[in-house]
């Protein structure tokens, strides 16, 4: 059974894939899976990668995007945006989270879009998080500032919380990047260009990011108490299987989805929140988009 299932998840053909955060965690395991299947992987990370770049800096993001395009020869069959920072101590942590978790995703992806469009049915997987739906009271102004590409405003929106604001910045970054995926995935530039753009929202997965959180006394205590109905933490290699599936031909009809793989945490906290019908207040916009169809992109 294991062998049969493994075959079904292999990405068809031989392609070139860009992976940020390729030196550890889910990015590393995904890179190993793709390379084992014969694909070319262009890894981006702070170390132990094909492209060494700091995604927390504008010039680092530009350099990473340019280096990947040059290495790929202008054609990418897919991309995995797995680089990310979690909550933690340090006065600049919120700013770093905003830069890496949001701008470090959308800026490289925007630069890579023509190369993805040049491939046949390219697939993109953005690593989101179930923090987008399980962390309460995330300020809307923080999310909107990120979506407006204004990390300074996002940081200012949480300044009264001090270092404790990093947890809300993390959740805000994952909400913002999930909404960015949803909004852009269905447009002419993405779906219309043959690119399948989706997000994977893991829960507590044993990666260096989670290990760092567990090492913090207060945060580690909160993480260990967080409900996971199936018990325990997820494994990075298991999530890599999901990512590989989302890059495969089996995911041709997957577009704009945010897939939760979190041991049941999201369902535990919000069992009745989704799916839900279109509310009355949203009906005019719904009907307008219905009439326009895919032209809304």
Catalytic machinery residues: 170
**Maximal CA-CA distance, the chain:** 54
**DSSP string for residues in 58-109:** HHHHHHHHHHHHHHHTT--SEEEE-------SSTTHHHHHIIIIIIHHHHHH
Q: Please state, in angstroms and as integers, the Cα–Cα distance from residue 281 to each residue in 114, 139, 152, 289, 290, following that order.
A: 37, 22, 32, 14, 15
| Assigned token pair, 227 | 């409900």
Find out whether 16 and 192 touch, Cβ atoms under 8 Å. Answer: no
SS3 256: coil
Q: Which residues contact 130 (CB under 8 A, 6 or more apart)?
A: 201, 202, 203, 260, 262, 265, 266
- Helices (H) and strands (E) in the chain — how many of each? 14, 9
> What's the CA angle centered on 224, arms 223 and 225, to 5 degrees?
90
């Amino acid at each position: 059974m294991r062998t049969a299932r493994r075959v079904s998840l292999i990405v068809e053909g031989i392609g070139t894939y860009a992976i940020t955060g390729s030196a550890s965690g889910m990015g590393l395991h995904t890179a190993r899976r793709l390379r084992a299947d014969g694909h070319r992987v262009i890894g981006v990370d702070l170390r132990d990668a094909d492209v060494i770049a700091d995604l927390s800096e504008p010039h680092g993001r530009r350099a990473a995007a340019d280096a990947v395009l040059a290495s790929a020869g202008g054609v990418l069959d897919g991309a995995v945006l797995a680089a990310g920072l979690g909550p933690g101590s340090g006065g600049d942590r919120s700013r770093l989270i905003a830069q890496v978790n949001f701008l470090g995703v959308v800026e490289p992806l925007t630069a890579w879009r023509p190369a993805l469009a040049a491939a046949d049915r390219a697939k993109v997987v953005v690593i989101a998080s179930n923090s987008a739906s399980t962390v309460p009271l995330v300020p809307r102004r923080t999310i909107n500032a990120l979506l407006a590409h204004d990390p300074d405003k996002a940081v200012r929106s949480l300044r009264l919380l001090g270092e404790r604001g990093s947890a809300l910045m993390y959740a805000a970054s994952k909400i913002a990047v999930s909404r960015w995926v949803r909004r852009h995935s269905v447009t002419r530039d993405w779906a219309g260009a043959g690119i399948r753009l989706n997000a994977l929202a893991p829960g507590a997965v044993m990666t260096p990011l989670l290990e760092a959180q567990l090492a913090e006394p207060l945060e580690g205590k909160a993480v260990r108490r967080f409900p996971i109905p199936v018990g325990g933490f997820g494994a990075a290699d298991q999530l890599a299987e999901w990512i590989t599936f989302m890059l495969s031909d089996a995911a041709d009809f997957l577009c704009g989805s945010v897939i939760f793989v979190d041991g049941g945490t999201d369902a535990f906290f919000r069992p009745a929140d989704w799916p839900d019908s279109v509310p009355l207040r949203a009906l005019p916009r719904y009907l307008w988009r219905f009439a326009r169809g895919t032209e809304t992109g």
